[in-house]
Structures are given as structure tokens and as C-alpha cells.
Chains A and B, each alone.
Chain A
């Protein structure tokens, strides 16, 4: 699979030569897989998405021109157009699926996202979307149910006025177990605060661990979720 992106990995200089071989599609694929496997929303890859969109627009233009003009050798040309179309479809699918899975997570945990620093992981459009979603949801819940409940139970966030925290807000479960693979050996790694759970993370070994324990490594790009 693609090597880790240079902006995160500490060994960016070492991986320089490998980075040149990593295409945007590989990076997007990696981002998509991580997003699919992680229980909470991850950092939005703004520059990556922008680059892929540019490339897709370019290829779309090229394809439009090719189908309009008439070439002499029709046989091979149809083939080439269809191959470009297939590649385009694949990239579009990756991009759309990536955005879709993020939207799904936003819809599930929108209030939680808006109240914590996960907000910074969203893109601008996603933030607008979240705000609108929350407004609509609040309005709907207020009108249909909350206004008719007795005083003290009318909050969207808290079960009742006497609750200490916002216990009506669903939070992503960070102890979900995930399958992961490391690029380079991380060595002995402490899994828990209790201190007696240490596993050895060797390169290319598949492990199943709790997401919370490897959260930092995932964000740093050292571990891939499978």
C-alpha cells in the first residue's frame, strides 16, 4: 500500500523517494480505508481532495473532446476512451465514498462534533452542513416532543436540568476494536493506562486492537486501518 504522507510522518526525509511513487489515488484510498474503519471522524484531507478534483475535471474535459472529435482509427480509440472512463469512475467512486462516509459520521454524531475539537477536522462545507443539520434537528425535536415535556426536561443536550453533563448526546465509541497494520516497526507499545498490556507492533503484521490505544499513531500516519 502507499507509504505514509510526508506531512505527518517523522521520517519524511527517509521516505522521500517512496513518496514520489505514491499517487494521489493511493493516498485517497488510504484515507478512505482509515475513515471507514475508525469509529470517529478523522482529519479532512483538504489538499488531497482538491488535487483529485482538479485531475478529475481535467480528465472529464479530455474525454469530452475525444468523443466530439472524430479520429481515423475508431477501434483503438473507443477502447482508450472506455479505459479512461473506467479510471475516472474508479477515482470518482473513491472520492464520493470518502465524502459519504464522513457525512454519515457527521449525521450520527453531529452535536458531539460541534461541541468538541473534532470540529476542526471538518472541511468548510462539512461545517456548514453540520450547522444546518443541528438546526433542523433541534427545531424538529423541539416542535414534536420537547416543548410538550414538563419543565426541566426540555433540553436537547441534557436528560434533565439536574444532569451534570450533556448525556443526551451520542458519542462515538472509542473502544471499538479495529484491524490495523503498521508500516514500520513501532516496537513495544503500551496499550492501556493500566500498564500491563504491551504488544509488539512489527511491520506488516495484522493486529486487532482497541481504537483508543492507537489513535495517536493513526493520526500520525504510522498505522493503517484495514
Chain B
């Protein structure tokens, strides 16, 4: 289970490594910013000033060639663009029979549901207005933010693609969103709080972790944490597994394992 312990303020590499108890692996690591990871700033232009450092942990040793399984940020956005939103067109148009489905016919001032990419395209050409999804109101988001802050071990239910949807709406349809600035800052705060929880949860991964439950995590957050988590879990699985079999008696706490690990000779990676 992902559970939060400390609230780590700093985003630097060093602190994250130390906090996750993996500091002793440091000699094997590079410290370069991995180019293969999506940067949060490419998703939300307003937070470009605040690059999240933990992303460069991809340079940690462990697995061979994870690149095949990595989705880039634009690809996650591509997946999000198929979510349905409600629009109010201001033109008349016949129905569209596309490969991905049938939509329309469109009449002025009559609301209908279309995929996000279609809505963005129509909005760009000024042919419709987009109705903000219900979950994007100031009230609902404030509530979600408060509950997020109160429960350090759980994530609140939010739409799976809430980051991408909100980003696309702000880019193309900011005049359709009530209280744009308020909503934007609320969503950023929610993202920060959730990501802190993810980071503190990472501290609890140990050799005895055989699966991690991430209830209510969103697509973009999963994508950011994916490379690091995969390598961590893989590294722990590879190096701690025989220990688990040998030490049935020790209850699963991190402390004893660190002690015993220091007395063994780990084979160099």
C-alpha cells in the first residue's frame, strides 16, 4: 500500500534518493537529466518555471532498455483526447461518420458530446463553445484539494486524464472556463499534493514489496513515475529476493534488511 510518511519539501535528486533509502546505490548512478522522460512543463505551460527534479531518476541502474514501454507525454495526451466533452456548436453541420465513431448532426445552440480532439478543433475555428466538465468547478476542486491534504495515504477519485483535459481546455477554451485562474491554481495545487504523496509512498518500497496498489492515480502521474518505479521494483526484486526466502522469521520492516544488507557482499552491477 502506498502510504505517506514525511512531507519532503525539496525536489532535488539527492533528497529523493536519500528519502527512498536507496542512497547506497548512488555510485552506480549518473546524474544527467534523462531526455527520454516527459517533463511536466510540457503538459502544463504555467508550471514551466517549476521543473520537477525527481524525473531525472531514470538514470538509475536496474533494468535493461525500458524504452519500449515508455509512453511520451504527447502520447498520453493523445490517449486523453478521446475523452468525451460537451460542446454547444454555433453552426449547422451534418453528422460525421468517422472511423472512431459517429457524431452529430450538429445544430446551433444544441449541446452534444464529442471527443476532446474534435471539440478543440471546432473551438479553434470558432465553431462552438466547450462546456466545462462538472468536476472542473471551483467548489468541487476545492473540496478535492482539502480531502487530498487531509488524507496522506489515499488519492481522491479524479478523472483518469484530468491533467490532460484541463491543460487542453486552458489552451484552447480558457474563456469557456469559469474563474480560470482559480481553477488553474487549484489544479496545480492538487497535482503538487498528489505528487508529494507519490514520492513519500516511494519511500516505503522495500524488498518485500511484490506489488504496489495505486488507487485513483491519474494517467500523467502514472507515466511520470513509471520509469523510476519499474527500475526500483526490479532492482529490489533482483537483489532482495533470496533474502526473503532465507529470512522467513523477520517481520517485514525496512531496518533489519538494511542491517543485514550491509554485512553481505553484494555482487557489483
Contact of B99 among A55, A79, A108 (CB under 8 A): A55
Do A207 and B211 have beta carbons less than 8 Å apart? yes
A-contact 0/1 string along B71-99, CB 8 Å cutoff: 10001001101100000000111101011
Do A177 and B229 have beta carbons less than 8 Å apart? yes
User: Hey, which chain A residues are within 8 Å of B222, CB to CB?
Assistant: 179, 206, 226
Do B234 and A177 have beta carbons less than 8 Å apart? yes
State the CA gap A80–B121 with chains docked (Å): 11
Q: Is A121 an interface residue (CB 8 A)?
A: no
Do B71 and A36 have beta carbons less than 8 Å apart? yes
Q: How many residues of B contact A (CB 8 A)?
A: 44
Minimum CB–CB distance from A145 to chain B (whole Å) comes to: 22
Minimum CB–CB distance from A72 to chain B (whole Å) comes to: 14
Do B230 and A207 have beta carbons less than 8 Å apart? no
B-contact 0/1 string along A1-26, CB 8 Å cutoff: 00000000000000000000001110
Q: How many residues of A contact B (CB 8 A)?
A: 48
Which residues 215-247 in B have Cβ within 8 Å of A in the complex?
A: 215-217, 219, 222, 226, 229-230, 233-234, 237, 245
Do B121 and A82 have beta carbons less than 8 Å apart? yes
B-contact 0/1 string along A37-64, CB 8 Å cutoff: 1110000000000001001100100000
Minimum CB–CB distance from B205 to chain A (whole Å) comes to: 10
Of listed B64, B78, B118, B210, residue having the most chain A CB within 10 A: B210
A87 touching B99 in the complex, CB below 8 Å, given contacts A101-B68, A197-B210: yes
Do B98 and A59 have beta carbons less than 8 Å apart? yes
Q: Is B212 an interface residue (CB 8 A)?
A: yes
User: Hey, which chain B residues are within 8 Å of A199, CB to CB?
Assistant: 210-211, 213
Minimum CB–CB distance from B66 to chain A (whole Å) comes to: 8
User: Hey, which chain B residues are within 8 Å of A90, CB to CB?
Assistant: 78, 81, 100, 117
User: Hey, which chain A residues are within 8 Å of B94, CB to CB?
Assistant: 80
Of listed A76, A83, A91, A101, residue having the most chain B CB within 10 A: A83
A206 touching B117 in the complex, CB below 8 Å, given contacts A90-B78, A101-B68, A197-B210: no
Do B96 and A206 have beta carbons less than 8 Å apart? no
Q: Is B101 an interface residue (CB 8 A)?
A: yes
B-contact 0/1 string along A81-103, CB 8 Å cutoff: 01110111011010001000100
Contact of B91 among A76, A93, A206 (CB under 8 A): A76
Do B237 and A175 have beta carbons less than 8 Å apart? yes
Do B211 and A191 have beta carbons less than 8 Å apart? yes
State the CA gap A55–B79 with chains docked (Å): 20
User: Hey, which chain B residues are within 8 Å of A97, CB to CB?
Assistant: 75
User: Hey, which chain B residues are within 8 Å of A209, CB to CB?
Assistant: 210-211
Do A83 and B96 have beta carbons less than 8 Å apart? yes
Residues in chain A within 8 A of chain B (CB atoms) = 23-25, 29, 33, 36-39, 52, 55-56, 59, 76, 79-80, 82-84, 86-88, 90-91, 93, 97, 101, 104-105, 108, 173, 175-179, 191-192, 194, 197, 199, 205-210, 226
Between-chain CB contacts (< 8 Å), 15 pairs? A23-B100, A29-B82, A39-B69, A76-B93, A83-B98, A83-B118, A86-B118, A86-B121, A90-B100, A176-B234, A191-B210, A191-B211, A199-B213, A208-B230, A226-B219
Supplied contacts A173-B64, A177-B233, 9 more A-B pairs, CB within 8 Å: A25-B101, A76-B92, A83-B121, A84-B98, A108-B65, A177-B229, A191-B211, A206-B217, A226-B219
Residues in chain B within 8 A of chain A (CB atoms) = 63-66, 68-69, 71, 75, 78-79, 81-82, 91-94, 96, 98-101, 117-118, 121-122, 125, 127, 210-217, 219, 222, 226, 229-230, 233-234, 237, 245
